Amino acid sequence: MIKKLLIANRGEIAVRVIRACRDLGIKTVAVFSTADANTLAVRMADEAVCIGESATDKSYLNVPNIITAACALRCDAIHPGVGFLSENADFAKKVEDAGLIFIGPKSETIALLGNKVAARTAALAAKIPITPGSTEVLKDLADAKETAKKIGYPVILKAAAGGGGRGMRIVRKEEQLEQSLQIAKKEALSFFGDASVHMERYLEQPRHVEIQLLADGQGTVVHLGERDCSVQKNHQKLLEESPSPILDEEMRKAMCADSVRLFKELGYRSAGTVEFLVEDGAYYFMEVNARLQVEHPVSELVSSIDLVQAQIAIAEGKKLNLKQKDVPLKGYALECRINALSAGKITNLSFPFGPFVRVDSYLETGSVLSPYYDSMIAKIIVWASDRDKGLAVMMRALEEVVIEGIKTNLEEQKLLITSKQFRSGRFGTDLYQKVCEQEK
């Protein structure tokens, strides 16, 4: 049984994990950078330890300081939240080596899935459709040319060790291939310390649809349905919904079954997500996110399962006493990310309340937003019986939001939600540009 848990993160996700711990009767330790001394997570936690300066590599990525704090305060476990160290196999290993429980997948699983080529290979082995392309890293230019010819242009070069949209190059003609390959390798090396690059067919306007899973590492894997995360700005998700307006029942079933099978074959433990691209009635495996995701509340609202509590129970070695039929998915959920567009002090703040609205945030009136960290400051999540009703509830909620003192994307989000394109459910990843940038 976990009695005390350290949260190796900050902001709204730290508050989210503290709330789950309170619900479970687990004491909490917050860690914080000097810039975050006066934040909600620090005050809500039972104990708090300063682990370094504002810059993330001095604090939230400072593995020795984090693990030392957990050990010295006699924690049993560390929850990495999302981002920062949450998908770092080396960190997970060090946590385990220090005799602590890592709330997440086994470190080997994280390491395996961190390599995009290995992940594609695992997906292929589990008979999941992947985008046409290389299943190994590209050997040289000749290999690249041959592969590109086989799959057809446009193609995309990706860092094998990559993720998060970095180290990627789109190539539309063979003439560009040589130069692009050189640049992609250089970026891969500088971002990830590994110049390996592989090639996939590039989809122009795919939908991003991901399946949320929960696995106990003891043979039980269930899915919590999908989330459609196609509304993005510069590869950053803005709105996430479940169910997806573009999946039919057949494709949904196939994607869920594929994902469950993959997690079973991986012997996956904890919460995790399989990301797919969907285009022209077909779906393609993209990657596995071996961690909790920002948009997890969407799945919590349609499944009535608390994913963070489930992660902790699984990490304690408990079996998931669930069969798939025990996870009925009900209604529709939508998350809207409120991002800060400037730093500064929040002089006035008011979040929405009332039926079927949830707010996950760490802001208070008087909070000072520092420029060091992620710009996401709040998530508004709503539930309704269907999508049309859900959009109405979200607009009601957004109209109740007041954030003064800084600039936010609140008005842009209202534009998106009321746009004809979003309401129709038929749009690509360029929705933000079409709706918000053409306004200007």
Partner 1 sequence: MDTIENMDLASVLSLFEQSSLSEMELSCSRYSLKFKRPTSEDQVVVSTPVKTVAKKAEAAEPVAQSASEDLQTINSPIVGTFYLTPAPDAPPYVKVGSQVKQGDVVCTIEAMKLMNQLETEYDCEIVEILAKPEALVEFGQPLFKVKKL
For partner 1, the binding residues (CB under 8 A) are: 32, 34, 37-38, 40, 42-44, 46-53, 59, 64-69, 72-73, 98, 345, 347-352, 364-366, 399-402, 404-405
CB of 361 to partner 1, least distance (A): 11
- The smaller minimum CB distance to partner 1, of residues 51 and 292, is found at 51
CB of 357 to partner 1, least distance (A): 12
Peptide linkage before 371 cis (omega within 30 of 0): no
The catalytically annotated residue of 120, 269, 291, 387 is: 291
CB of 25 to its own copies, least distance (A): 7
Residue type, 48: A
Q: Scanning the structure block, which residue is given the tokens 């993959």?
A: 262
Helices 296-303, 307-315: inter-axial angle, 10-degree rounding: 100
- The smaller minimum CB distance to its own copies, of residues 24 and 63, is found at 24
With CB under 5 to 8 Å by kind, the binding choice for 245 among its own copies, partner 1, none is none
| Active-site residue, 291 included | yes
- The smaller minimum CB distance to its own copies, of residues 20 and 103, is found at 20
Residues at the interface with its own copies (CB under 8 A): 15-16, 19-20, 22-25, 297, 300, 304, 306, 308, 328, 330-331, 350-351, 353-361, 364-365, 383-385, 389, 392-393, 395-396, 399
With CB under 5 to 8 Å by kind, the binding choice for 226 among its own copies, partner 1, none is none
- The smaller minimum CB distance to partner 1, of residues 64 and 193, is found at 64
Q: Please, are residues 397 and 357 in contact by the beta-carbon 8 Å criterion?
A: yes
Helix, strand, coil shares, percent, the chain, to 5: 40, 30, 35
Question: What is the Rg, in whole angstroms, of the alpha carbon atoms belonging to the chain?
Answer: 21
3-state secondary structure of 126: coil
Helices 11-24, 307-315: inter-axial angle, 10-degree rounding: 60
Instruction: List Cβ neighbours of 312 (8 Å cut-off, separation of 6 or more).
Output: 2, 5, 20, 21, 24, 26, 77, 79, 103
* Beta strands, E only, 187-326: 197-201, 207-216, 221-233, 236-242, 269-279, 282-289
Instruction: List Cβ neighbours of 97 (8 Å cut-off, separation of 6 or more).
Output: none
With CB under 5 to 8 Å by kind, the binding choice for 370 among its own copies, partner 1, none is none
- The smaller minimum CB distance to its own copies, of residues 47 and 96, is found at 47
- The smaller minimum CB distance to its own copies, of residues 97 and 326, is found at 326
- The smaller minimum CB distance to partner 1, of residues 5 and 211, is found at 5
CB of 366 to partner 1, least distance (A): 4
| H/E segment holding residue 192 | helix 174-192
Dihedral-angle region of residue 98 (phi above 0 means left; psi in -120 to 50 means alpha; beta otherwise): alpha
CB of 140 to partner 1, least distance (A): 42
CB of 325 to its own copies, least distance (A): 13
With CB under 5 to 8 Å by kind, the binding choice for 51 among partner 1, its own copies, none is partner 1
With CB under 5 to 8 Å by kind, the binding choice for 34 among partner 1, its own copies, none is partner 1
Cα–Cα distance, 105 to 292 (Å, whole number): 10
CB of 424 to its own copies, least distance (A): 18
Backbone torsions φ then ψ of 290, nearest 5 degrees: -85, 60
Q: Please, are residues 285 and 255 in contact by the beta-carbon 8 Å criterion?
A: no
What residues act catalytically? 291
